[in-house]
Chains A and B, each alone.
Chain A
Amino acid sequence: MTRETISAAGPHNPGRRNFLSAVGATVASLQTAACIRKPYEKILPYAERPEDLVPGEARHYATVWNVGGAVQGLLVRSTDGRPTKVDGNPNHPMTGGSTIWAQASVLSLYDPERSKEPVREGEGVSPDEAVGFLKKLPDEIGDGSGLAVVVPELPSPTADRLWEDIRAKYPKAELYRFDGAGTDHARAGAAMVGIEGAAWTTDGTPTVIAAFDADPIGTEGDTTAFTKAFAAGRDPNRKPAEANRLYVVEPHVSITGSNADHRMAVKGSEVGDFLAALAHHLKKGGLNVPTLDAPKDKLDSKFVKALAKDLLSRKRGSTIVMVGERQPAHVHALGFVLNEALGNFGKTLRFTKQGPTEVGALSDLVRRMNDGSVKQLVVMGSNPVYEAPADLNFGELFQKVPLTIHLGLYRDETGRLATWHIPQSHYLESWGDLRAREGTTAIQQPLVAPLYPSLSPIEFMARLTGAESKGYDLVRATHQGAISGGFDKRWQRWLHDGVVDVGQAPSFVPSVKTDGLAAAYKFRAERAQGLELAFVRDNAVLDGRFGNSPWLQELPDPITKIAWDNAAVVSPNTAEKIGVPNNLEQSSVRDTVMVDVSVGGETVRLPVWVQPGTAEDVVVLSLGYGRKHGGKFAKSGFDVNSLRTAESPYIRSGAKVTPTRKGYAVACMQPEASMHDRPIVRDATRGDFTDEPNFVEKFEVMDEDHVASLLWDEPEYTAEHQWALTIDLNSCVGCGSCTVACQAENNIPWVGKEDALKGREMHWIRIDRYFEPKHSDQVEVRYQPMACVQCETAPCENVCPVGATVHGPEGLNNMAYNRCIGTRYCSNNCPYKVRRFNFFHYTVRNDADYGMGIAMQRNPDVTVRYRGVMEKCTYCVQRINKARIHAKVNGDGIIPDGTVKTACQEACPADCITFGNIRDPDSKVSHTREDPRNYAVLSELNLRPRTTYLAKLTNPNPDLAEG
């Protein structure tokens, strides 16, 4: 520009004006280059402010979502129009707290890699073009003889209604269900004993819970509701007969297994044998159960005998036998039969009539695709190209179908191969409705208008029939008929409460047919030798759908503590057999080796990981990793779907594992698993607790007189509110919801695998997991959520040279981020190591990774931390302050008990966290601190932490006491 200006003026006779303008232009351009200009933005004030909307004041809206058919009512916080936090809706019957997935779902709304435009044959097109295509689609479909629609688990009354519309319009169309977190096996098992068109659910109230490869606390079913009742069922104040006891038989250590009172690690293929053996013993005990074939060693199992005795000794209808989705249909069928015989139907196992009937499975669809009778294939909200077992060869067949349409949040593996990809609206952008398995319907209301041109599943279904209805109208149309008159008022109430108070799915008690069972329950006489592969849904990314969430990728697996990866998990003995070193016994636990896992001609190379408690000769492979087109975060880990078969998608025998010479570093966030006999997590059996209620004192390292004296003056805590928190280890199941909730609430950055490997994770609350391996396949797991415990005599404070961490009058150990210069001495002197340091500018790195998205999610009430600054748990001080302002404006300034809930507390499905004011002797936390199980971790250091723990109680079966 400068040169042009000058040359325009002419080199020979520049002239004064031209010269000056050239100089001006030069200076201006230099200035532009020298300054970093603030981005240009418009600030638009509310000319007319909507009623009740105070800028900066968060609002909450009720909505609902589902994962694999598990419906959860949610309460979403909207800050200035942006959804910033998701929590469980306490009004909803299937919700207590929330899952990690619900917590992380708010981030996925802003995922910059979400699908943003329709794509036709690999090329992005305008939304209008997609609309035009959908308009013409009915003509192409004709009578529907070539139409196949694949739906995920979508228990929505509106979807059911729209399906009827579709079927009316295209009588020959076929519906198939595919969901990586679905319940196909359970459904097939139910059908085997004659239960159809039903949904069922188990909450955690039973007194004996026998989980056969089931993971109701972690990855299967209505986990939050189950966990809430399960934790309540372990209340120490319950009478022994009412306190629950959890038995688990499984190949891998699941979250449920880690909470078991008795756990047996067996191959996945043998779980059914154990169930048959249980049936045998129950029959001997007088129950009406068909005789099934069970191997002798299983029949003689002490575990099974004790379990049968325990089940029989309880009140009828107060127990449950659970079978996990990983088990084949006939095992589920037997599970139903046993529950019926135990009187659990309608009591601990409740059925409701719902769902469309005549839904095929994916294998049925593949059969039709093979014979070429599918002409138009619609895949809604699932990703079979990635997730379907490899032997179905789905991807290839998919491409052969003349017209394929994919509706998805991401242009994922399926979306890439589809003729048309249509962006799907996020649930926080959509109208909808979902009916829980328990029967209650809730309205899904959007928090924001779709960020990108997209369609919600029900809008898309309507388009298939040629209608262009809006989601709002579709949902209203479904429910309008349910009541007579005054619909709008009721509708408002439903939206406000988050539940629909009419139209409950009818509950019923089915009867079971046992005639076909014995035939179905055939045992493979000769079992394949060699290793057995156990495919499990991942505790963080599930089937891969949550793979692109950096929060979930960085959330360590509750058991292995691995983040950002999956691995071939084996027991120590099996590792020895395979010939790989036991990485847990090396000082650099994270360094492991790659192994080739091969079966049926397919090989996957992935790192091996030793996990005590895993069944012998089993290799556990987590699903959902190593996605090719799931986004940059979803790429991490290794795709193991190629090793699966449709016939037995979760268990495969005859595998071979060959060690390679290649090393691999796994980001394990807790390399040390042993407690080293330190009194950190204290526990006792229920029996011992009854005999000695003050048992926690036995663990003390130093007697109280020694500890009590202080070198300094007693700190004075005279403020009206003295905050404290208790964590009941007896309830905590280790799920990790608190960690993700805290991350969402407190703007905690993720650090990425590289830094996670170095041990720089930023989680303010982590879950410490300890286990003492008894034998190679036996393990007892203990969880302990650990965040800043807010010591009254905090050791971090007196070592800071600039006084950046100081005590507040209410007992909080405050961090003045602006004052922190980053010497990190506080972290060194913190015996709990709960302080987190911004070794890099993680916030800015996240911004770079996530664009504006992460900024939209951030909580404006919480400071975003700079690099070089220490941070840690604040007891959600922003919530305290908000409540304080409210109390001062509206009352006497005293915050009533229960008004402030910390993010972790709100998220906890097990209600293990209690927070409140200990100056108030009637507050809940004052009571929990009075509990005889209450103790302070590292009490001998005399730090007087405000966070204390309630010891764990186990409830072992006396008959198995020796185990």
Chain B
Amino acid sequence: MDMRVSRDPVDRRPLLVNPPTDYNGVTEAVAAPIEWKTPMGWWIFFLVSAVFAAMYAGSTAYLIWEGTGIWGLNVPVAWGWAIVNFVFWVGIGHAGTLISAVLFLFRQKWRTSINRFSEAMTIFAVVCALSFPTIHVGRIWLLYWVFPVPNQMGAWPQFRSPLLWDVFAVSIYGTVSVLFWYTGLVPDLATMRDRVKSKVAKFAYGIFALGWTGSTRHWRHYETAYMLLAGLATPLVLSVHSVVSFDFAVSQLPGWHTTIFPPYFVAGAIFSGFGMVLTLMLVSRVIFKLEHIVTMHHLDNMAKVVLLTGMIVGYAYGMEFFIAWYGGNEYEMFAFINRAFGPYWWAYWSMVSCNVLIPQVLWFKTIRHNVAALFVLSIFVNIGMWFERYVIVITLSRDFLPSSWDMFYPTVWDWAALLGSFGLFFTLFSLFVRFLPMVAMAEVKSVMPESDPHHEPDETEAAKQPATATAGGAS
């Protein structure tokens, strides 16, 4: 492969689609996985995921039948893996909004190759995330009481509870994510409608394409709507995980009751979200032959985001310790010393290693450009961020009165729920890659040089270098 970078003929930036292709080339490349005959590999992946998802469903059914006691919960550790998983999945879901909304507003053109993918991931992660607080309550059949449903008893939710804020924050986040994702999908769904042969598929894509014709008027409305949604979604990037962090920060537990939690959670969420996008992207771009659309340049950018947010998270870990000491609160001090050197030291040091130490290798460009290394690293990030939430939740095990201290031991049902939620996630994901364009074709096209034709020939110095601009076989 020619490692030289193709550059934009106008502004000399490296091309985002590299090796370059034309509009049709993008469409063909993205639509191909949908139009292939279903490969055996997909079936295997889908079925394995579905089995795990079914395990989740089964374990949840047993949970509802028997009670939350099937998990390893107790007093003091009244929240266990369900909440760990919830925060973990919500965190994963953050990359989607960030890439879609924030990077969009900041005109980061490189986002176009990965935004569809990460938005889809966001939605599936939010689905997984929402499932956990739903099933972890003791009496799931009364869960609707958390919604402000008018009733003859005049019983209202209790608006001071962070859990209630959570209900609103996460459901709004889920709704906006779906809207955003779907709006972006409309032009591509129309493309698929026009391409597919099967009547059923044509009909289905047609329904969801909402009569998109690609007229200028459509494009104008579409882009306005997209911009507005991006504006709406942007505060959510900060709010959702801030609110999730309130679940902990608003309580008075040592190790939970800290003001650093909202920014720290947001940074951690972006960190974990990008970690998960990397994990999925690195594999998908090879399988679905999208290396020219999701290029090394994209991977490099994502790796830099991971490095940055990983260091923010590392800073937060350090600052928590510092404040625990500086604040002079002996319970707080104990909680942190206990995290690092108490019975759950292994979880703490797993977290620090995976989230802070290991990502430091990303300073090296060779690592950032090594797909295998990035994949391994992204797995570490995923594990590390799960442990981060575990470390936070397990702080419950030792609080104010030593008499109530106790340990938490997960049961087989805890494992079933954790692994099962991954099954659910990958089931949805495999359906996504099979039936929907996993790259935003229309958006990618909009950042190709062809979308920005210029009358003036390129007069820059670089253009005069022979055989550089078109290297890579764009002819």
Q: Do A and B come from one complex?
A: yes
Considering only residues 297-333 of chain B, those with a C-beta below 8 Å from chain A are: 330-331
Q: Is B72 in the interface zone, CB < 8 Å from A?
A: yes
Contact flags A666-688 to B (C-beta < 8 A → 1, else 0): 00001111111010100000000
Cβ B161 vs Cβ A800 within 8 A: yes
* Chain A residues with CB under 8 A of B167: 801
Count of residues in B whose CB is under 8 Å from the partner chain: 53
A835 and B343 CA atoms in complex are apart in Å by 24
Considering only residues 555-599 of chain A, those with a C-beta below 8 Å from chain B are: 587-588
From A676, A770, A839, A866, name the one whose CB has the most chain B CB atoms within 10 angstroms. A839
Query: Which one, A701, A825, A868, contacts B67 given CB within 8 A?
Result: A868
Cβ B78 vs Cβ A588 within 8 A: no
Cβ A819 vs Cβ B400 within 8 A: no
Cβ A798 vs Cβ B161 within 8 A: yes
Contact flag A831-B401 (CB < 8 Å), given A819-B155, A868-B137, A868-B138: yes
Contact flag A829-B69 (CB < 8 Å), given A802-B158, A837-B138, A868-B137: no
* Chain A residues with CB under 8 A of B66: 840
Chain B nearest CB from A309 CB (Å) reads 37
Cβ A798 vs Cβ B407 within 8 A: no
A868 and B69 CA atoms in complex are apart in Å by 9
Cβ A801 vs Cβ B158 within 8 A: yes
Q: Is A786 in the interface zone, CB < 8 Å from B?
A: yes
Contact flag A867-B138 (CB < 8 Å), given A676-B402, A798-B158: yes
Contact flag A868-B78 (CB < 8 Å), given A803-B156, A840-B66: no
Cβ B75 vs Cβ A799 within 8 A: no
Considering only residues 2-22 of chain B, those with a C-beta below 8 Å from chain A are: none
A836 and B75 CA atoms in complex are apart in Å by 7
Q: Is A941 in the interface zone, CB < 8 Å from B?
A: yes
Q: Is B366 in the interface zone, CB < 8 Å from A?
A: no
* Chain A residues with CB under 8 A of B402: 672-676, 678, 680, 770
* Chain A residues with CB under 8 A of B331: 678
Q: Is A312 in the interface zone, CB < 8 Å from B?
A: no
Chain B nearest CB from A226 CB (Å) reads 27
Q: Is B74 in the interface zone, CB < 8 Å from A?
A: yes
Q: Is B229 in the interface zone, CB < 8 Å from A?
A: no
* Chain A residues with CB under 8 A of B195: none
Considering only residues 863-901 of chain A, those with a C-beta below 8 Å from chain B are: 866-870
Q: Is B403 in the interface zone, CB < 8 Å from A?
A: yes
Contact flag A803-B400 (CB < 8 Å), given A829-B253, A835-B75: no
Considering only residues 60-79 of chain B, those with a C-beta below 8 Å from chain A are: 66-69, 72-79
Comparing A27-35, A108-116, A752-760, the segment that makes contact with chain B is A752-760
Cβ A869 vs Cβ B139 within 8 A: yes
Query: Which one, A671, A827, A841, A869, contacts B405 given CB within 8 A?
Result: A671
Query: Which one, A588, A800, A840, contacts B69 given CB within 8 A?
Result: A840
* Chain A residues with CB under 8 A of B76: 759, 827-828, 833
Considering only residues 769-791 of chain A, those with a C-beta below 8 Å from chain B are: 769-770, 784, 786
A832 and B253 CA atoms in complex are apart in Å by 11
Q: Is B142 in the interface zone, CB < 8 Å from A?
A: yes
Cβ A803 vs Cβ B163 within 8 A: no
A393 and B140 CA atoms in complex are apart in Å by 58
Chain B nearest CB from A100 CB (Å) reads 19
* Chain A residues with CB under 8 A of B247: 825
A111 and B137 CA atoms in complex are apart in Å by 34
> What's the dominant secondary structure at chain B's contact region?
loop
Query: Which one, A802, A825, A831, A837, contacts B400 given CB within 8 A?
Result: A831
Q: Is A768 in the interface zone, CB < 8 Å from B?
A: yes
Chain B nearest CB from A240 CB (Å) reads 32
A831 and B404 CA atoms in complex are apart in Å by 9
Cβ B251 vs Cβ A821 within 8 A: no
Cβ A833 vs Cβ B401 within 8 A: yes
A587 and B79 CA atoms in complex are apart in Å by 20
From B67, B69, B155, B167, name the one whose CB has the most chain A CB atoms within 10 angstroms. B69
Contact flags B180-224 to A (C-beta < 8 A → 1, else 0): 000000000000000000000000000000000000000000000
Chain A nearest CB from B289 CB (Å) reads 47
Chain A nearest CB from B419 CB (Å) reads 22
Q: Is B388 in the interface zone, CB < 8 Å from A?
A: no
Contact flags B404-417 to A (C-beta < 8 A → 1, else 0): 11110100000000
Query: Which one, A674, A795, A800, A821, contacts B252 given CB within 8 A?
Result: A795
A786 and B76 CA atoms in complex are apart in Å by 14
Cβ A676 vs Cβ B334 within 8 A: yes
Q: Is B235 in the interface zone, CB < 8 Å from A?
A: no
A822 and B73 CA atoms in complex are apart in Å by 13
Chain A nearest CB from B370 CB (Å) reads 39
* Chain B residues with CB under 8 A of A837: 73, 75, 78, 138
Contact flags A829-865 to B (C-beta < 8 A → 1, else 0): 1011101111111000000000000000000000000
Q: Is A289 in the interface zone, CB < 8 Å from B?
A: no
Q: Is A938 in the interface zone, CB < 8 Å from B?
A: yes
Contact flags B136-160 to A (C-beta < 8 A → 1, else 0): 1111101101100000000111101
Q: Is A944 in the interface zone, CB < 8 Å from B?
A: no
From B75, B137, B402, name the one whose CB has the most chain A CB atoms within 10 angstroms. B75
Chain B nearest CB from A815 CB (Å) reads 13
* Chain A residues with CB under 8 A of B68: 822, 839, 868
Q: Is B250 in the interface zone, CB < 8 Å from A?
A: yes
Cβ B78 vs Cβ A827 within 8 A: yes
Kindly report which residue of chain A lies nearest to residue B252, judged by CB atoms. Answer: A795
* Chain A residues with CB under 8 A of B72: 758
Q: Is B399 in the interface zone, CB < 8 Å from A?
A: yes
Q: Is A283 in the interface zone, CB < 8 Å from B?
A: no
Kindly report which residue of chain B lies nearest to residue A668, judged by CB atoms. Answer: B406
Cβ B406 vs Cβ A941 within 8 A: no
Chain A nearest CB from B347 CB (Å) reads 12
Q: Is B472 in the interface zone, CB < 8 Å from A?
A: no
* Chain B residues with CB under 8 A of A786: 401, 403
* Chain B residues with CB under 8 A of A803: 155-158
Q: Is B98 in the interface zone, CB < 8 Å from A?
A: no
Cβ B69 vs Cβ A821 within 8 A: no
From B74, B78, B160, name the one whose CB has the most chain A CB atoms within 10 angstroms. B78
Query: Which one, A801, A824, A937, contacts B79 given CB within 8 A?
Result: A824
Q: Is A823 in the interface zone, CB < 8 Å from B?
A: yes
Chain B nearest CB from A106 CB (Å) reads 27
Q: Is B164 in the interface zone, CB < 8 Å from A?
A: yes
* Chain A residues with CB under 8 A of B155: 802-803, 819
A831 and B329 CA atoms in complex are apart in Å by 15
Contact flags A739-758 to B (C-beta < 8 A → 1, else 0): 00000000000000001001
Contact flag A795-B251 (CB < 8 Å), given A825-B161, A828-B79: yes
Q: Is B352 in the interface zone, CB < 8 Å from A?
A: no
Cβ A869 vs Cβ B79 within 8 A: no
Q: Is B396 in the interface zone, CB < 8 Å from A?
A: yes
A588 and B452 CA atoms in complex are apart in Å by 66
Cβ A759 vs Cβ B138 within 8 A: no
Contact flag A801-B138 (CB < 8 Å), given A829-B253, A868-B68: no
Cβ B406 vs Cβ A671 within 8 A: yes
Cβ B157 vs Cβ A801 within 8 A: yes
Kindly report which residue of chain B lies nearest to residue A680, judged by CB atoms. Answer: B401
Q: Is A820 in the interface zone, CB < 8 Å from B?
A: yes
Contact flag A868-B139 (CB < 8 Å), given A827-B75, A831-B399: yes
A821 and B134 CA atoms in complex are apart in Å by 11
Chain A nearest CB from B168 CB (Å) reads 11
List 8 A–B pairs whose Cβ atoms lie within 8 Å, in order of A's numbering.
A672-B403, A801-B157, A803-B158, A822-B137, A832-B400, A833-B400, A837-B138, A937-B401
- What is B's interface to A at a CB cutoff of 8 Å? 66-69, 72-79, 136-140, 142-143, 145-146, 155-158, 160-164, 167, 247, 250-253, 330-331, 334, 342-343, 396, 398-407, 409
Q: 9 closest pairs, A vs B, by CB?
A: A822-B138, A868-B138, A839-B69, A587-B343, A833-B404, A759-B74, A768-B403, A824-B78, A803-B158
Known contacts A819-B145, A822-B139; can you find 16 more A-B pairs with CB under 8 A?
A587-B342, A587-B407, A755-B69, A758-B409, A759-B75, A769-B403, A801-B164, A802-B155, A823-B138, A825-B163, A828-B78, A833-B400, A837-B78, A839-B67, A840-B66, A868-B140
